[in-house]
Structure 1
Amino acid sequence: MATFRKRPGPGGRTVWQAQIIRRGHERQYKTFDTKAEAEAWAAIIESEIARGVFVSRAEAEGTTLAEALERYALEVSSRKKTASRERLTIREWQSSALGRRALASHQG
């Protein structure tokens, strides 16, 4: 079952933290602007855990596309014949607005 805590946020505003603790799974927590958003997120995560389809998004939420592309350039692209050409494309993507977005971000 999820727990919800009211916490002080940036600029003196109030934020809500949802936390889910389930045996056999890492603790999941996330902060939201409203309690309703926290409850909706918790319901989705708990449902995924119950159905056995939950995959943690923590790493994807903390990694930007630019960071993932840098890792790809070092680990994969550098071993290709087309590495120099691929590196140019990677740099363009990294410097774009999309490069600054987290892998798990979505437009909503």
Structure 2
Amino acid sequence: MAIQVPTELLDGCVLGALSRQDFYGYALTQEVRQHLPISESTLYPVLRRLKKDGWLTTYDEAYQGRNRRYYKLTRTGQQQLTKIQGEWGDFKQAMSELLEGKQNG
């Protein structure tokens, strides 16, 4: 897919994945990558920003002698996801109408 994903939609994809379960960074990249071509170098700055905004929190768990940093959706992150989902519905409808040559109304 060659279409650039807008920042807010990428945020929504990450928040949506984390609404189902907590993920450590690499596993989250793999989850998102099943649907969008994204690299770890793209995802980690997004995770840092979402954490800074208070939409995610982190915790560490030991795994094979090392710690994995897990990302967890916060209550305000869930509120932001709900907002993005509503905006996505409107955006998706408008884009479908334009791309498919449909007339509004």
State the TM-score bracket (shorter-chain normalisation): under 0.3
Higher relative contact order (CA 8 A, sep 6+): 2
Normalized per residue, which structure has more helix? 2
TM-score, structure 1 as length reference: 0.25
Pair member with larger Rg: 1
Normalised to the residue count of structure 2, the TM-score between the two structures is: 0.25
